[in-house]
Amino acid sequence: MTSNNLVYLVALPLFSSGFLMILGRRADKWGHIFATLISASAFGIGAFEFLQMLARPSESRAVTQKLFSWISVGTFQVDASLLLDQLSISFVLLITGVGTLIHIYSIAYMSHDLDRRRFFAFLNFFIAAMLLLVLGDSYLNLYVGWEGVGLASYLLIGFWNQKPEYATAAKKAFVANRVGDVGLSLAIMIAFATFGTVSFSGVEEKVSGASTAALTGIGLMLLLAAAGKSAQFPLQSWLGDAMAGPTPVSALIHAATMVTAGVYLIARSNFIFDNAPTAQLCVVIIGAITLMFGALIGTAKDDIKKALAASTMSQIGYMILATGLGPVGYAFAIMHLLTHGFFKAGMFLGAGSVMHGMDDEVNMRKYGGLGKFMPITAITFGLGYLAIIGVPPFAGFYSKDKIIETAFNAEGIKGLLIGSAALLGALVTAFYMTRVIILTFTGAKRWDEKAHPHESPFLMWGPMAILAIGSVASGFLLSSGNRFVSWLAPVVNSHEADHAEHVERFQPVVVTSMALVAVVIGVAIAIVKYRSQVPRVAPTNVRFFTRIARRDLLQDDFNEVVLMRPGQALTKFLVATDEKAIDGAVRTVGAVVIGSSKGIRKTQTGFVRSYALLILLGAFGLLATIWVVTL
Amino acid sequence: MNYLTSIGALPLLGALLISTLPKSKANYAKWVALLTSIVVALLGLLIALRFEIDRPGFQFVENYSWIPSFGINYSLGIDGIALVLILMSVILVPIVIVAGWHESEGGRWGSKSFYVLILILETMMIGVFAATDVFLFYVFFEAMLIPVYFLIGGYGVGERAAAAVKFLLYSLFGGLLMLAAIIGIYVISGHQGGHTFDIEKLSQLTIDSTTQNFLFLGFFIAFAIKAPLWPLHTWLPDAAKSATPGTSVLLLGVLDKVGTFGMIRYCIKLFPESSKTFTPVIIVLALISILYGAFLAIGQKDIKGLIAFTSISHFGFITMGIFAMTTQGHSGATLYMVNHGFSTAALFLVAGWISTRRGSSIIADFGGLQRVTPVLAWTFFIAGLSSLALPGLSSFVSEFLVLVGTYTRYPVAAVIGTLGIVLAALYILIPVQKALHGPITPGNENLPDITRRERIAIAPVIAVIIFLGFYPKPLLDVINPASIATLTAAGFSDPVPPAGGR
């Protein structure tokens, strides 16, 4: 099936973005409204396509649109072509839906910023790139969107780049992403060398003819790409710093959509990973490490946005973990991605609302008792909180529980290990999120006299309320009657049989009970620990673990010692070598030649003429030689 | 109509006209030059329109006997590769003239000489790509040095004289080696059916492998100096720092491409066996250039030096693509030559404008320009993104083709080369942060933003960069047949994917 509407999904926000940039200050008055309407119309198109898709039987739901032949060299044929199927529409609705809400929120949030129009141009650009990422029908088309969202992220993290540390944070994010891009580039190269094509359908069709080594190679490189974009171990360190961007950006890009692109990439490449068990195992390991890593960092952060960022890292760890669990895992990964999109975006907007009312203060130790002053923010944030820690019947309960259950039921010792990691992660999540709630909304006030906390305007709390509804209902809606799993089944090739053949080591009710116990323990520890007076300044006489958790488990120290310092030293060394050794050698040769030809030089008067003469002599010399050899 | 002679002679006519201008009318020189170069560009577009994509071999062929006793002919002709390079050259010249409207004022000589030199250079650039007689090519190849020498030495900044001499000496050394090789192959042709300099006839010769290797090296070293390959690169940063921005654009954007063009047209076409023999060495040198150029770029304090070193990295990619000997590698390398021309032009021109305003090209002297000169800052940023090969901009297509074309034959080299994309992010984003972001550095508060003339100059460059990023097809369609022809003639075929069958 083909559709003619897909291109507008990408083109509308792309042109709007360019339009607002080129018009410049002339568009300052209405640029934000315009961009919001564009985003909303993209959502409209997405919804329309979704309804059309629902009307078709499940095996013919995918539609494509070929735009033009993009790169065509020999057998390397790549069309600019879009694909909308059950997987991509899930993302389209999330991106445009949450995206539009965040546009609306930003109208108020950014109202005092001189560059609001530029902010909205960037937001529109992000929407376009992210839609291209999920709509591209080949790895190379995906790559364009992939780097596009990286650029948008760079621009928005550094939106206030007059502050040097914000500019540095933006650069760090881009470079870490580029490391991931090396993976994506190599994956595409291996795919082309192996299959002679880089389109999803082409690779899927030919996958059975490929060697395991090639598939493992592609899988590992895709995992590297996913680690860069989705802030997974060992490329996770940029995400915390990315909180330098305006809070709506943190909500949209660094929580709900862009950082989940790695999950999309792995789910989209299910045909690779299902045939490359080693790569799949690595996916699981990276996911498990990151979910613990993020959760542990989250326990030590006093900056509300950084605490939420650590949580995002951890939650994406859950999703990556799930994508490594084979056909059954993909749907749960994407389901958690969607519910997370609601509750985490909602909480970030809530954090923004708190900052809005507290003169941009981000230190939770200087909050306290804000629930009274910002009731709507507190309630919407609270609903998101209940969703993320996994209290039934809120959204996260359904999606995270499924992941823990599937992890436990993976075969062998692997299942026990990753299941335990996921369960422990749930406990830690409950702890650090409860800590955020207590420090921010309850207890005694710890803020300065000059702060006047107040509730945010409707344009801000409206989107928060809608996202809160999603945090409440989306889990149930997606999982009841196995709805989302069967929706996604044609894309990820999962069948009812996959579920049946698994050994149900743990009954669902057992896993759920364990998870709930973990949550209760986590909440209880937090309450006990933070119930009493919280110091306004973070205590320094803390345990070793807390100290390194505050330093993001030494991720930056590691990068600095292992990569940055040696890199800088190498650069310095090479610059010196180039001037002294290489150019020096050249100059020595020159000096020797000039020295030995002093006699000849005396007959010349100046540089210019002597070299002109040299050229002339050369030409004559050539003619003379030719004459000699032709004699 | 003799299209190629016409397009080559037009700039010379313009130069002649300028030199006859009386002193009192000297300020008409730039207008004459601009008008001439625009007519040349239009003629170039006409040639492109009349170029037949599916016809093999050279087109627009002209052949006149020049020095019959030596078998030297005035023969011209272009294939797809030469076409796109000529097209790039003739489009860049008017842009350079508009962009550097006042460049000639700081010179040792007047503005008349400046534009005469520019137009003579344009003739040489067209000639060097259009020549199909090796001797004629050599004449253009060497003669091209003269206008560049004077442009750097006479109109540059800083230690311009030293830089010009260094450039000239390096080039002459390479030229000398090539000259020896040309004589060599000419002698051989005499033993095999008559003396000739015709490229097609020369490519039919059978040469024993030792001789072939020597002749190959004669050509290759000359080209490796021109499109500087590590370790023959040290003239380039000096020249780029000293030359005016416009000269740098022509030098790095066009002249250096003669080197990589020559590798395809002469090294591989004339000496396929030796090309195969030396491939491992050349690929290693190319890889070193990619990484070395990138590291050196990161370490530069001068923005012009930085751009020069990024180019060394890019030439490494181009050379690697050529010697990967795959269709993707060759077409990618050729497209890379064009794309690099435009993205380097954008970088140099904007960097030049900013430096002139500030009176310094040291990166640390800038800061916060995004607040002071937003349009210039964003233009520089886009040019930088093109240089780091962001998908959606033109360089990405060519860089990816080079990498994928290399991977199919030399996977390890491609993997190492791909690491260059991380370094590229650093060498662009570090100066972007230092110069454009952060607080406004004292002394920069009142720099004026882009002027209308500068807008007119840069807009087409940016448009080309974006357009070719999304739609490189018009260029690839003419490049592909030439790439395939070169590789087929040299006896190379693309590796077959193991799981490619249905």
In a domain, A465, yes or no: yes
Q: State the smallest CA–CA distance between residue B293 and chain A in angstroms.
A: 10
Bridging pattern class, strands A63-73 and A76-84 = antiparallel
Question: Which of A251-265, B131-145, B488-502 is least confident?
Answer: B488-502
The β-bridge partners of B72 are B67
Q: How many domains does chain A have?
A: 3
Give every CB contact of residue B359 below 8 A, 6+ residues apart in sequence.
none
Which residue type, as a one-letter code, is found at position B160? Answer: R
CA A250 to chain centre: 11
Amino acid sitting at position B61: V
Measured between CB atoms, which of A71, A167, A575 is closest to B401? Answer: A71
Residue type, B214: F
Domain-located, residue B489? yes
pLDDT exceeds cutoff 70 at A329: yes
Q: What residue in B sits closest to A151 (Cα-Cα)?
A: B390
**Residue that is last in its domain, among A505, A524, A550:** A550
Q: Is residue B422 part of a domain?
A: yes
Question: Is residue A180 a contact partner of residue A226, using CB atoms and an 8 Å limit?
Answer: yes
Percent of chain B with pLDDT over 90: 62
ipTM of predicted complex: 0.92
Domain range for B413: 271-493
**pLDDT range class, residue B120, cuts 50, 70, 90:** very high
Main-chain dihedrals φ then ψ at residue A242, nearest 5 degrees: -65, -10
Contact between A574 and B483 using a beta-carbon 8 Å cutoff = no
| SS (HEC) of A202-244 | HHHHHHHHCCHHHHHHHHHHHHHHHHHHCCCCCCCCHHHHHHH
| Residue B59 dihedral angles phi and psi, to the nearest 5° | -120, 165
For residue B74, give the 3-state DSSP assignment. strand
A183-208 mean pLDDT:
93
Given pLDDT bands bounded at 50, 70 and 90, which one contains residue B75?
Answer: very high
pLDDT for position A626: 58
| A365 assigned to some structural domain | yes
For range B397-417, the mean pLDDT: 94
Residues A252 and A288 in one domain: no
Question: Taking phi first (over 0 means left), then psi (-120 to 50 degrees means alpha), and beta for anything else, what does residue A232 get?
Answer: beta
Residues A530 and A431 in one domain: yes
Give whichever of A364-368, A604-608, B97-101 has the largest mean pLDDT: B97-101
Residue A555 domain flag? no
Q: Is A189 in contact with B497 (Cβ distance < 8 A)? A: no
User: Are A155 and A23 found together in one domain?
Assistant: yes
**Same domain as A350, residue A227:** no
Q: Kindly identify which residue of chain B lies nearest to residue A194, measuring between CA atoms.
A: B497
Chain mean pLDDT for chain A: 86
Selected residues 81-100 of chain B with any CB under 8 Å from a CB in chain A:
none
Query: In chain B, how many domains are there?
Result: 1
CB A221 within 8 A of CB A266: no
Do A133 and A254 belong together in one domain?
A: yes
Portion 68-107 of A in contact with B at CB < 8 A: 68-76, 80
Phi/psi of residue B359, nearest 5 degrees: 75, 20
Beta bridge partners of A63: A84
B409, part of any domain:
yes
What is the extent of the structural domain holding A570?
564-630
Q: Has residue A559 been placed in a domain?
A: no
Lowest mean pLDDT among A358-367, B125-134, B283-292: A358-367
How far is it, in rounded angstroms, from Cα B23 to Cα B39? 25
Interface check for B138 against chain A (CB to CB < 8 A): the answer is: yes
Interface of A with B in 419-438 (CB under 8 A): none
**Could you tell me if A132 and A148 are in contact, meaning their C-beta atoms sit under 8 angstroms apart?**
yes
pLDDT tens digits along B13-49:
999 999 888 887 878 888 999 999 999 999 999 999 9
Q: Are residues A317 and A428 in the same domain?
A: yes
pLDDT at A628 over 80: no
Question: Where is A2: in which H helix or E strand?
Answer: none
Residue B226 within any structural domain of the chain: no
Same domain, A280 and A210: no
In chain A, what residues touch B396 (CB-CB under 8 Å)?
144
pLDDT score recorded for residue B476: 94
Give the pLDDT confidence of B152-196 residue by residue, as tens digits.
888 888 888 888 888 888 888 889 999 999 999 998 988 888 888
Helix, strand or coil for residue B494?
Answer: coil
- On whether any CB of chain A is under 8 Å from the CB of B368, the answer is yes
Q: Does the residue A270 lie in any domain?
A: no
Q: What is the pLDDT of residue A624?
A: 65
Domain assignment present for residue B241? The answer is: no
Does residue B69 register a pLDDT over 70? yes
Q: What is the DSSP string of A390-434?
A: T-TTSHHHHHHHHHHHHHHTSSHHHHHHHHHHHHHHHHHHHHHHH
pTM for the complete prediction?
0.91
- What is the band of B102 on the pLDDT scale with cuts at 50, 70, 90? confident
- Asked if residue A557 is part of any domain, the answer here is no
User: Residue B106 has what pLDDT?
Assistant: 74
**Which residues between 372 and 401 in chain B have a beta carbon less than 8 angstroms from any beta carbon of chain A?**
374, 378, 385, 390-392, 396-397, 400-401
Alpha-helical (H) ranges within A442-552 are 458-479, 483-492, 496-501, 508-530, 544-550
Mean pLDDT, to the nearest integer, of A44-52?
93
Final residue belonging to a domain, choices A550, A575, A603? A550
User: Is residue B355 a part of any domain in this protein?
Assistant: yes
Residue-wise pLDDT for A555-606, tens only, equals 888 888 778 888 888 888 888 888 777 777 777 776 666 666 655 555 444 5
Q: Are residues A255 and A315 in the same domain?
A: no
Confidence at A613, pLDDT banded by 50, 70, 90:
low
Q: What is the pLDDT of residue B21?
A: 86
Q: What is the pLDDT of residues A222-252, one digit of tens each?
A: 999 999 999 998 888 888 888 888 999 998 9
Q: Are B306 and B287 in contact (CB under 8 A)?
A: no
Q: What is the pLDDT of residue A267?
A: 93
Same domain, A396 and A480: yes
Quick one: tokens of B253? Answer: 């954007």
Q: What does the pLDDT read at residue A603?
A: 47
pLDDT greater at residue A462 or residue A540: A462
> Do A471 and A330 belong to one domain?
yes
Position B307 in a domain: yes
| Weakest-pLDDT range from A496-500, A619-623, B338-342 | A496-500
**A545 shares its domain with A624:** no
pLDDT at B365: 87
Q: Does B1 touch chain A (CB under 8 A)?
A: no
Asked whether A128 and A122 are in contact (CB, 8 A), the reply is no
B494 contacts in chain A (CB < 8 Å)? 74-75
Assess if residue B458 is contained within a domain: yes
Last residue of a domain, one of A264, A299, A323: A264
List of chain A residues whose C-beta atoms are within 8 Å of the C-beta of residue B498: 194, 209-211, 214
* C-alpha dist (Å) from residue A548 to A96, A436, A541, B216: 38, 19, 13, 60
Q: Is residue A248 domain-resident?
A: yes
Residues A259 and A281 in one domain: no
Say how far apart CA B402 and CA A611 lie, in whole Å.
Answer: 38
Q: SS3 for A65?
A: strand
Torsion of CA B189, B190, B192, B198, to 10 degrees: 40
Answer whether residue A269 is part of any domain: no
DSSP character at residue A82: E
Q: What is the pLDDT of residues B139-151, one digit of tens each?
A: 999 999 999 999 9
Least confident of A205-214, A556-565, B64-73, B174-183: A556-565
